[in-house]
Structure 1
C-alpha cells in the first residue's frame, strides 16, 4: 500500500492557489507603467475581485488555511515577494482534514512559522516528533490510527498548548506514561475523548502533573461509564476549569470534595433497564368464532425480551417468572449482523430453550463477554399492559460495555399461546382428535367450563357436572415485532435513555385473510362480467342491454374498490405497538452519596 506524505498534499494545495497564473503573479494581463493599456489588461482592483467573487472561475478552495486567501492577494499586489521561502514561512495554520495522509515527513519543517496543525480524519499511525516544527502550539490528530505515543514524546514541541488525540486506539499503561507534565509543560487543553482508557486512577495521576491544564475532554472512554465519573475527576484535578465541554461550578466542586482524598473510585458500571407500559396489541379473542367447540380453551399471554451485557445481575422486582437465558459472545462479536440474527432467527418450539451459545474469543483475546437474554413477566392481554420490569446489571468489563452501548440492543415482543383440554375421565369424554382446533373466547385468559346444551336431555338423571380439570399443551410462541434501541448517547455523556419504542401496527391473521378474500372476490366478479359481456356480443344483444350491463359492471367495480379502500384505511388507522423503555447509568451526584453506596460493600 503506497503512503501518502503530508508534504505532497501540502504542495498540491499550494499549487492549486495558482500564485503565478492569472489573475495572480506577473503576466500580460497586468497593467503597468511600462506596458500600455489594452483590451487584455486589468487593473489591480479588478484582479482582486476575480479572486473573491463567488461566481468567479478563478476562485479556489482556501479552507485548508486562513493564510491561503491572503497569500493570493499578495500575489496580485506584490508578486515580487512570493519566492519559495516566503511562501513556506507565511503559513501559520494548516488544516489537512480527510485527505488520506498516512506519513508526516521531514519536509513539514519548511513551514518554520507553523503554529497550528490539524490532521484529523486521516490514516496516520505514527507521529515522529522530530518532523514537527518547534513553533507548534496546536496539534490536532483526531480520528487517525494512532496506537502508541512513543514517537510523539521523543522530542515533543515545547510550546504546545492544545493537543487532541481523540478517537484513536490509545489506552495502554504506556500511553498514560507519555501524558505527563515532563512531556507537555505548557499544555492547557487536552482531548482524549473516545479512546480506550480504562484505568481512571492511573490516568488522573498522570494528568495531575500537567500544571497548566485547564480544559480536559474524556467522554467516550470506558471508565467514564463508572459511577465515580465525573466526580472523582473533578476532585482529583483542582486546577481544571472545564470537563467534557462543561464548565465546573464551585458548587459542583464542593459536592465532590473528598472523593480523591478517600480514594472513592470503582472500576465497574451499574446500568438499570426498566420496561413499563405496552399498548397497541389487538385483542386476540376478537377473532374467535362463536360456533367453535368448547375445547380447546385458548389463553394468550405476552412477554418482552431483550439482551444485555453483564457479569452479575441484581433483580429489583423479585420477579419469579422472569428468566435469563445466558449467551456467551466474544467482546468483538457485537456486529450489526449478530444483533439482527438474534432478533430474527429466534424460532421457538414446544420445549423451553435452555441451550447456551458459546463463541470463544480470538487467540489474541482472552476476555469473554456475556450477553444474557432477559424477559419480563408474562401478562395476559389488556389494552395497556404494565410490565413494571426493573433490572440492574453490574458490569466489570467497561470496554465491553462501551462497545455494547455503541451497538445497542433489540427489544422484542413475544406472544405465547396455550391450548387447554379437559383431562381424560369417564364422565367427560375428550374432544375428537380429528376435529379441527378453533380458538374459543374465554374472557381474557380465564378457563371456560363445558357447555351443558349438548347433554341437556341426560342432565335430568345425573348430578350437575363439575368444571373438568384441564391439561395444557406446550406453549406456542411467536415473535410479534422487534425494534433496535440505540444507546450511543450513554457513551458520550448521557446518564439515561428514556424512549417510547414504536414497533409498528400489528396486522392479525384475520385481517390478512379478509383482504385476500376481498381481492379474490373482486377478481372473480370482474372475470364473470367479462364473460357475460362476451356472451352478449356473440348473441348480438341490443345496445341498451350492453349499456346497462356496462353501467352495472362499473358500479359494482366501483363498490368493490370502495370496499378495498375502506379496508385499507382501517388498517392504516391501527394503533401502533409501543413500549416504554428506560436505560439509566448510575452516577454519583456527591461524595456523601458515594459513601452511602460504598459502605454496604465495604462492610460486607
Structure 2
C-alpha cells in the first residue's frame, strides 16, 4: 500500500472549501457599487446564509478544523485577503482522523501557527519531531501504528501541554526514557492508555520528572492489572491531580502514602480469583428415561462447569489460608504460561446446584493476561453419564445396552413406598450383585462467552449471572418430553372415557391406580401431571450460571505491608504452592 502524506490530505481539505468559487471569492455573483441592474448578483448576507445552512448544496463539513467555517466567511466578506500564506497561518487546529495518513511530512511546517494537531486512527508508524511546528500545544496520535518513540529525540515542540499516544504498541524501556521532563518540560496531560507498558517502576520513574504533569491516563496497560496499581502510581507522582479520568482525593493519597518508598514490595504479576456459584435450569435427566425401562444398567448423572484460564499456577482458596496464599508473591519461580482448562467439582442433579468453586490464579505474563481478558473466557456446562452393569449371571438377566434404566436410588425408594414385598426381595437381589461401570459418557449442555474487557479498562470485578446457550441435545430433550406428555394425555383421556362407560367402580380403580403410579415414581410423575393439566407443552427454564472474576487490588500501603512484608525476608526459603 502506498504511503499517504499528511500535507496531501490537508491540501485536499483546503481545496474542498472552494474559497474562490461561488458563493466565496471574487466573482460576478457578488453585488458591488458598480453592478448594473439586472445582473445576477447576490447580497453578502445571502451568500453567508448559503455557507451556514445545512440544507444548502454549498454547506461543507468543517469538523476537521474549527477555522474552516470562519475562513469561508472571510472568503465572502474580504476575499482579497486570502492569499496562500494567510490561509496556512490562519489554521490553529487540524483534526485529520481515519484518513489513512502514514507519513507526517515537512509540508506540515507551512502551518506556522498550528497549536492543535489530532491524527487519531491513522497508519502513522513514526513521529519525525523535526516536522512538527514549534507552536504545537496539543498532539494526539491515538490508535496509530507507533512501536517506538526513538524519533522523538530532538527538535520537540517546547510548548506541548497535551500528548496522547494511547492504543499504540508502545511499552519498551526505551519508550519510557523518552517520556521525561527533558523532552516535554511543559507537559500537563499525558494519555498512555491501552499501550503495552509492563514495568510500572521504570515508567513512573520517568514520569516523575514531568514536573508540570497533572493528568495521566494509564488504564489498559498490562501493569495496571497488578495489585499495586493504582496505589503505587498515586504515591509516586505527588503532583498528579487526575488518574484515569478520576480525581485523586486527599484521603486516597493518604492511604497510599509511603508505598513508593518501598518499591521492593511492588510485584509485577497479577492475582485473579474466579468463583462459580449456583446453576439453575438444567433439565432433570429422569425426564429422558423410558417408562418401562429395565432394571439394568443403573444410570448415574453428574454435572460440572469447565472453563479455561491463563495462569502460571493456581491456588484453591478453600485449601490454602490467606497468609499462605499471599506468600506466593514472594515464592514465585518462572515457568511457561499456558492456557489450561479448569473444572468445578461434580454434583448430582438438583434444581439449584451450588458448586461453590473458588480458585485464584497468579500470572506474571501481564501482556498475556491483558490479551486473555480482552478475548474473554468460555464457560461450559457438561453432563457426565455413567452406566453400571451387573456381572453376567443366570439370576440377573442383562438388558440391551441401548436401553436406559431409571436411577437406582429413585427406583428403590419407589418400590419401598409401594409396599410390594416382591420388589423388596428384588432390590435385595440387585444390591448383592456386583456392578461394573462403563467409561463415563460426557456431553455439553451449553456454553457461553464471558467478556472480561472491563478488567483491562480499570474495572476490578466482573459479576454476572450468565445464560448458557441451549444446545441441540436440550431441544431434543424438550421435544421428547412434550411428545411423552402428549401421549400420556391421550391415554388419560381414553381411560376417562372407559371410566364413564364402566361406572363408579372403574373410576375408583383408576384413581387408585394413578395414585399408586405417582408414589411409585418418587413424586416425579405427580409433578408432571400438574404440568399436563394446564398445557400441552413444557418450557424449560433458561440455564443460568453465577460467575465472578475479581482482580486483587491493594486498598492501602498498610495492607501491602501486611500481606507481603512478612514473607520478603524468607524469599529463598518459601516453597512454590500448586
Fold shared per TM-score above 0.5: yes
Q: Structure 1 587/37 Cα, relative in aligned 2: closer, same or farther at 3 Å?
A: farther
Alignment of 1:329-348 (within 5 A): none
Answering whether residue 464 of structure 2 is matched by residue 496 of structure 1, we say no
Structure 1 residue 452, shift from structure 2 partner? 13
Q: Is the 8 A contact 2:312 2:335 kept in 1?
A: no
The residue number in structure 2 matching 1:371 is 339
Give the gaps of 5 or more residues in structure 1: 320-365, 520-562
Q: How far off its partner does 1:448 sit?
A: 9.6
CA distance in 2, matches of 1:487, 1:97: 29
> For the Cα contact (< 8 Å) 1:449–1:467, is it kept in 2?
no
Task: Report the CA distance between 1:451 and its aligned residue.
Answer: 13
Distance 2:267 2:249 in 1: 24
Q: 1: distance between equivalents of 2:423 and 2:38?
A: 123
Contact 2:176 2:202 in 1 (8 A): yes
Q: Which residue of 2 aligns with 1:49?
A: 49
Moved more, 160-169 or 448-457: 448-457
**How far apart in 1 are the matches of 2:231 and 2:291?**
65
- 1:300-315 residue pairs with structure 2 within 5 A? 300-315=301-316
What CA deviation, in whole Å up to 9, does each residue of 1:260-314 have, x standing for no partner? 0122311000000000000001111123233211111111110000000000111
CA RMSD of aligned residues (A): 3.0
1:9 Cα deviation after fit: 0.3
Q: Give SS of 1:416's match.
A: strand
Is the alpha carbon distance of 1:201 and 1:577 closer, same or farther for their aligned partners in structure 2, counting shifts above 3 Å? same
Stretches of structure 2 that go unaligned for 5 or more consecutive residues are 321-333, 487-531, 571-578
Correspondence list, 1:376-525, <5 A? 376-423=344-391, 429-432=395-398, 434=400, 436-443=402-409, 467-505=432-470, 507=474, 509-513=476-480
Distance 2:127 2:303 in 1: 57
Is the 8 Å Cα contact of residues 380 and 444 (structure 1) preserved in structure 2? no
Paired with 1:448 and 1:150, the residues of 2 have a C-alpha distance of: 79
TM-score (norm 1): 0.79
Query: Following the alignment from structure 1 to structure 2, what is the Cα–Cα distance between the partners of residues 293 and 70?
Result: 89
User: How far did 1:469 drift?
Assistant: 3.1
Return closer, same or farther for 1:45/1:451 CA change in 2, 3 Å cut-off: closer
Q: Distance in 2 between matches of 1:11 and 1:467?
A: 93
Q: Secondary structure at the match of 1:56?
A: coil
Structure 2 Cα separation of the partners of residues 458 and 163 of structure 1: 83
Distance 1:122 1:3 in 2: 11
CA contact (8 A) 1:294 1:450 kept: no
Listed one character per residue, the Cα deviations across residues 390-417 of structure 1 (whole Å, up to 9, x for unaligned) are 0000001101100111111100000000
Partner in structure 1 of residue 219 of structure 2: 219
Question: Which whole-Å CA distance do the structure 1 matches of 2:555 and 2:39 have between them?
Answer: 76
1:129–1:152 contact (8 Å) kept in structure 2: yes
Local SS of the residue matching 1:479: strand
- Which whole-Å CA distance do the structure 1 matches of 2:268 and 2:45 have between them? 65
Alpha-carbon separation, structure 1, partners of 2:547 and 2:162: 41
> Given that residues 5 and 104 in structure 2 are in contact (C-alpha distance below 8 angstroms), is that contact kept between their aligned partners in structure 1?
yes
Does structure 2 conserve the Cα–Cα contact (< 8 Å) formed by 1:302 and 1:378?
A: yes
SS of the aligned residue for 2:261 comes to: coil
Call closer, same or farther: CA 1:386–1:455 in 2, change over 3 Å.
Answer: closer
Structure 1 residues 429 and 156 mapped into 2: Cα distance closer, same or farther (>3 Å)?
Answer: farther
Write the mapping of 1:43-442 to structure 2, written as runs, cut at 5 A: 43-263=43-263, 264-318=265-319, 368-423=336-391, 429-432=395-398, 434=400, 436-442=402-408
Aligned with 1:186: secondary structure? coil
Total equivalences in the alignment: 508
Corresponding residue for 2:324?
A: none
Higher alpha-carbon deviation: 259-268 or 220-229:
259-268
Question: 2:210 & 2:121 partners in 1: Cα distance?
Answer: 27
Change (3 A) 1:80 1:419: same
Q: Distance in 2 between matches of 1:144 and 1:444?
A: 65
| Separation in 2, partners of 1:267, 1:489 | 20
Residue by residue over 1:355-388, the C-alpha shift from the partner in whole angstroms, topping out at 9 and shown as x without a partner, is xxxxxxxxxxx99531110000000000000000
Distance 1:254 1:171 in 2: 29
Deviation for aligned residue 1:100: 0.4
Q: Provide Cα deviations, 1:320-372, integer angstroms capped at 9, x if missing partner.
A: xxxxxxxxxxxxxxxxxxxxxxxxxxxxxxxxxxxxxxxxxxxxxx9953111
The 3-state SS of whatever aligns with 2:62 is coil
Instruction: Classify 1:26/1:471 alpha carbon distance in 2 versus 1 (closer, same or farther; 3 Å).
Output: same
Q: Which structure shows the higher helix fraction?
A: 2
Q: Is the 8 A contact 1:297 1:448 kept in 2?
A: no
Q: TM-score, normalised by structure 2?
A: 0.82
Contact 2:294 2:399 survives alignment (8 Å): no
**1:360 matched to which residue of 2?**
none
Shift, 1:468, TM fit: 2.8
Once residues 181 and 372 of structure 2 are traced to their aligned partners in structure 1, the CA distance between those partners, rounded to angstroms, is 34
What's 1:530 paired with?
Answer: none
